[in-house]
A and B are shown apart, each in its own frame.
Chain A
Amino acid sequence: MSQNRREFLKTIAAIGASTAAISSVTPKKTIAKTEPFLSEDRKGVLVDTTVCIGCRKCEWACKGAHGFEQGDFENYQNDEILNVQRRPSTNNLTVVNKYIDEGTRTVKMQCMHCEHPACVSACIVGAISKKENGSVVWDTDMCIGCRYCMVACPFQIPAFEYYKALDPKIVKCDFCIERTSEGKLPACVNICPVEALTYGTRNELIDEAKRRIKNHPDKYFDHVFGEYEVGGTSWLYLADKNLAGNVFPKLGNNTAPGVSESIQHGIFAYFVPPIAVYALLGGIMWLTKEKETKKENK
């Protein structure tokens, strides 16, 4: 009996030690992931919706740059489509919608390339990553198609190929990462005829946005959407009206994955809680057994 008990304790201790050993390696990796490397001159785009004329050239160019059926540009000058509230989808990474209330504005939408992306934090296998230049991109070789990134994204951006039996993809704007790595502008920025889209370093874009607000306080609503929302986004918006709660959902300034990650790391803080529970249960198991044996021996 005592022999068994000693063995029991030994095994428990061994498990504790090995888990501790694992934990000393793992968290570092995890912590590194929590703080994505945000380079000082990461890029962004400033969308000035007061300039946008709703020509949808950006949609057309985007399709071309990503290998989708583009069609004739003539078909894009169609007010009916503008008035339908569309969302980015599996064959359209960006859409321009028209909003009418106290004036009219056309707004181009796509993935915001968040500074602390919920999709990156959520992805079960780490298939989505925030790159040094600010773009948030998806890796087809890793994704398992669980769609948790879609659940997580506060802007409801990632789309999924529901009608493909094999290799369905998560589809979203990739900030033209191929073009920008060759030194070219993103396709939409490149084609925009009125310079409603400005590509540049995120910090400079924020300065530029504030300059425009200051110079034309009558023209702009005094807020750069995306400067702080969900911890900041690479795409920034200027408008004549508050876009939050209208064009975009009302979102706080806390990073989207913040609460979830701190709970997650709380439960697993260096594996201490699980090991503690293990030890506690082991202890109870041993003690109650002890009592039981004594009872039986009497």
Chain B
Amino acid sequence: MAHLHIPTPISKKYFTPGVIILALIAVNGLIFLAGRFLFGIGSVTNLNDQYPWGIWIGLDVAAGVALAAGGFTTAALGHIMHRDKYETIIRPALLTAMLGYTFVAMGVFVDIGRWYYIWHPLVMWNGNSALFEVGICVMMYLTVLYIEFLPMVTERFMGKVNLPGFLSRFNKIVDSILHSLDRGLSKTMFIFIIAGVVLSCLHQSSLGTLMIIAGPKMHPLWQTPILPLLFLLSAFSVGFPMVIMESLTASRSFGLKPELDVLSSLSKFVAPLLGIYLIGKLGDMVIRETFVYLTEFNLVSILFGVEVIIGVIVPLRMFLAPAVRKSPTGLYIASMLVIFGVLMNRFNNFVTAYSPPYAVESYFPSIGEISVTLGFVALEILFYRLFVKIFPVISIPSDKAHIKTKYAIRGAVK
């Protein structure tokens, strides 16, 4: 092995023109959010009694959860099936999942009318409600993600605790706390890793159950009792493309060489996963004979077509081609298409498909809603950049003799 890849904080400078643009987008979103908190949800959104949910739920929450699937899929591959080869991508995927779910929680927080009661589901249970199950699982998984991230924090600061000023007298104590924390985490981490995967499977599918209760309000192209299964399968298939896309983007933006061999072999899993999802989706369509709705040429059938053809079939074909899997550009485009497909699917399920019986107008997101959604995405990227500068997340080649970190998250079963 020529180089050992070791997770290291990135030393590139934080601010670039791109970062400044992102910051502006974020600030713009925050301004609209201020409006929401001062004057109510109606003042910045196009939501009304006909359309109670818009893109804050459809994209920020539902798509956000799906696109953070890289966290549990790589954890399953790397830690549970012990494919050590993939260990370099686990940390970035974990960071994305952690930030992703944090912003999912933020999305919920700003969308619910009584944000100060967000803790109510913890003590008031309704086991019949799919939303309750999503809420509880997301809360638990978010906690698990923070715990899974902790080793990177301890690793960063162990032996380097240097508090400013008079606080410096606590250096030793803090350091020993970190050490014992690290030891404790190493012993118990596997519990959290498995729990994370189980919780993910649960709420990824329950997100699909959410819209089932809307019954005939939802267009038959999407309304099906197997929605939970389709949501789970699509989450499985979008996990790795997300990781590939991020890894390629990060290498580019930090001027690193893309880890093409790892990404190429990771991409081999994508086609089978997408294939299973496609079979589920088309099979369901055939069994319920919903293809009749495709003969009508309207916005709904176009959006369905875009979702399935551009978002599933095209990338499926691409991921089957070895040439695509070996080229960074090919991988990037194919991954982006899968991501787009799942994004469209969540949007379609929560927005396109929803048509209330007494609708007098249709819903289109307002400038405010779009601003907040974009603002959250921008903030997420900004935090990602900050975190990889502070914590050892991204693996870069190192020729220094260094003890190889066996587990990207240390503490899996020894």
Residues of A at under 8 Å CB distance from B? Answer: 1, 4-5, 7-8, 11-12, 15, 26-27, 29-30, 33-34, 85, 87, 89-90, 118, 121-127, 142-148, 150-152, 154-156, 158-165, 167-168, 248-252, 256-257, 259-261, 263-265, 267-268, 274, 277-278, 281-282, 284-286, 288-289, 291-292
Contact = CB atoms under 8 A, between A and B. Distances in A.
Interface in B57-83: 76, 79-82
A252 B223 CA distance: 15
The 4 closest A-B pairs by CB, nearest first: A145-B113, A162-B42, A30-B127, A249-B357
A249 B216 contact: yes
Contacts of B121: 124-125, 144
Contacts of B47: 162
B49 A159 contact: yes
A160 B80 contact: no
A87 B358 contact: yes
A274 B114 contact: no
Nearest to B206: A267
A5 B191 CA distance: 13
Interface of B: 37-43, 45, 47-50, 52-53, 76, 79-82, 84, 108, 111-115, 117-118, 120-121, 124-133, 135, 187-188, 190-191, 193-195, 197-198, 201-202, 205-206, 209-217, 225, 228, 354, 356-358, 360, 412-414
B195 A278 contact: yes
A92 B412 CA distance: 59
Contacts of A125: 120-121, 124-126, 132
Nearest to A291: B82
B333 to A, nearest CB: 33
A158 B81 CA distance: 48
10 contacts: A7-B187, A33-B126, A154-B217, A154-B357, A161-B40, A168-B113, A260-B209, A268-B133, A285-B81, A285-B190
A144 B206 contact: no
A156 B357 contact: yes
Given A143-B117, A144-B118, A155 B357 contact: yes
Nearest to A30: B127
B413 A167 contact: no
Contact of B49 (A89, A146, A248): A89
Nearest to B36: A165
Contacts of B358: 85, 87, 156
Most central of B49, B132, B194, B198 by chain A CB within 10 Å: B49
B118 A257 contact: no
Contacts of A288: 80-82
A279 B2 CA distance: 39
B225 A259 contact: yes
Contacts of B120: 124-125, 142, 144
Given A150-B49, A251-B216, A285-B82, A144 B127 contact: no
Given A122-B130, A261-B128, A282-B190, 17 more contacts: A27-B127, A30-B127, A124-B121, A124-B131, A125-B120, A125-B126, A148-B131, A150-B49, A151-B53, A156-B217, A162-B41, A163-B40, A165-B40, A259-B215, A264-B129, A264-B209, A267-B228
B37 A8 contact: no
Most central of A90, A159, A161, A164 by chain B CB within 10 Å: A164
Contacts of B41: 162, 168
Given A89-B49, A285-B82, A292-B82, A154 B128 contact: no
